Structure 1
Amino acid sequence: IVELSSGKEIRVEKTPSNDIFRVNPGAFIVGFSFKPDYAFDAKTLTAIRLRGYPNSDFKELETALYSIDKKLTEIVDENHTLQLLKEDDEEKTEQRASLEREISELKDKKEESQRLEAEASERLASSMARLKDRRSEVANAQETLRELQSDIKKAETDLRRVTKEVRLFPVDQEGFVREGGRNIKNYLLMSIPFVAIICLISYNLLAGAVELSVLINTDDIKIDVWTIFLTRIPFVLLAITLLEVCGYAVGRFIFEMIKINRQRLDIAKLSIIAKDVSDASGYNTDLNDEDLWERNTSLKMELLREHLKEEVGETFSYKGTAAQSALKGAIERIRKGKADLNES
């Protein structure tokens, strides 16, 4: 039984452990006593040990406890501060790590930027080189263009000159000239066999005459001249006939070739005359080149008709190209139809 300073009693019922009985009242006491559970159960106290503080030391203990509590509070505050500092340090550490990562990323970006800058510099240098080459190519192309323009001007001049020369021979006359050239070649080819026959017969006659003269001049051989003459008459007649026929054929072919060549010269003369007349008549007029060419062609065809009137009918007249002829025919039919309507 424990008597507190407040007058209360605390009864502690507890079984001893290893014959030791411990009680911790946790307050100021004024006394205590032991009371066994059984009256006839004898207990022997071997020792009593008291631990605690007297009332006189309580104030000092309280002061010490207050000081300890204050220190503990300060320690807690400091611990809290340290915890905050630790958290702040961890946050700053994280921030530092984040900054280091950002710095690393920035370094990587810087290296990437430097690499891209180097590549861009290389591309720029390559582009500048290509630009220089392109400028050189453009300069060469311009020079080539100037040369081509000069060549075009020369070609246009030559074209105008050739056109004027070509217009000396219109399409129909040019075809006539080509046909005449083909006829000359055909006559030459056809005359070759006749010339060959003439050459062969002439060679045989000369060779036979030489051989006969040799035989006549030989004393050992007696030759009857009349017999040779009579036997040679058929051969001579045949040779003369062949030579006459072949000579006539070759002469006829030569005559036709001369005639064709003369006609070509006449056509050239007519073309030159027609061109000069057309140019002279169209001088200082409003006629264009096409009209002058049509008039030139018409005049040449009229001159050609007059020149070849034995071979071309009198009713022949030049009516221009096929399109012009069709257009003129349509206009004439329309005019004729209107005239018939007016008369009716």
Structure 2
Amino acid sequence: MNAELKPRALDIEFFSKESSKTTQLVNNADVSAQIDGKHTWFKYIFNEPVFLTKIEVFSEGYNSWDKFEIIVTHVDGTFHEESVDVKTGVVSLQLGKLVSGFQFRPGRKWSSSPKITKVIATGLTLSEFHAFEWKLKEHEQRAAELAEKQSNYDALKDTRDTLSSEKTQLESEIGKSRSQLDDLNTKVSSASNSLETLLEDVKTARSDVKRAREDKNKLLDETAEIRRELETLTREVRLFPSEISGFVREGNRNIRWYIGLSMPFVIVLFVILNSLFSSAIDLTQLWRNEESIDVWTIFLTRLPFVLVAFALIEACGYIVGRLIYEIVRINRQRLEFAKLSIVAKDVSAASANTTSLTDDEVFEKETQLKMNLLREHMKNQSADQFEYKGSAIVSALVGVAERLGGKKGD
């Protein structure tokens, strides 16, 4: 390719409106032709399409963080838009397209008066571009042909070297194969003699394998039966811990149920007490402010309400107390069972520490100890603790009735 086909700075004659101030900036060397860097579009239109490779805008007064907006118009009507940073007073955009024009707009500056000093558009004219394109195609075609020839030459050379190496290797292997063939003939004659002996041994081995498989199937059947028995025994042995877990879950459910039952009585008790105290305060204020009031009359008229209130307080307090007692009793039983389990586990673990017992044997001893502790614990419980008195709420209501009946009898 010739030197004149290299991209160059396009002269001002290639631009339309040569007399405008904006166009005068093309390849400008005159300081007086500089233009203020306003935040407006500087447009450049070519007289004919050119192959544009680079756009450079020289300026003064812009910082490195300022940006220029550049729009390039392609010959097919499409646009390329990009925001470019200012680097040491120059805004540069690399391209490689046939374009009909471009425009740029500097960023807005409030505190200074920047200048646009020069614009350089580097590229080729349309005729130069076509000549460059043909030269490039010819060069690429010659390069492809040379590359293909070089590839063919390298392939032939590699093939020759490979065939030569394979020839040497084959000659060496033929010599080795002939020597091995003589050895194999000797071995074949020896193997033929021992083949009959091996066949007899194979028959004997097959008979032994058949008997071993039959023994193996019997052992597998016995093992499966033993495992089924072991699973049954394990479920029976571990029945006690699962019952403790069920007792704990049932205890938690009863505790939530008793708390829910006690809430209405607590609310009633709180409302009655609040009403009594507020009424007493109102009566005190009334007695202080009214001199002619008859306190005894007010006291006698409120006496039935007070008696009913005391009866409700007594009933609600007893029911709430009874329910709290049931919650405490359930929690105490849970603690007793947990204590038994902990003691049994610790004693079993400590006792089996220096022994050769297996895990299943340790678990069996631990379960036996739990059952013995539970039996002794149940013996020590008082008989009236297991007397059925109904549910907690029924027992509480019966207790309130008995207390009220006892007070009337007194």
Q: TM-score, normalised by structure 2?
A: 0.34
User: RCO higher in 1 or 2 (8 Å CA, sep ≥ 6)?
Assistant: 2
Q: Name the structure with the higher helix share.
A: 1
Q: Greater CA radius of gyration, 1 or 2?
A: 1
Q: Name the structure with the higher strand share.
A: 2
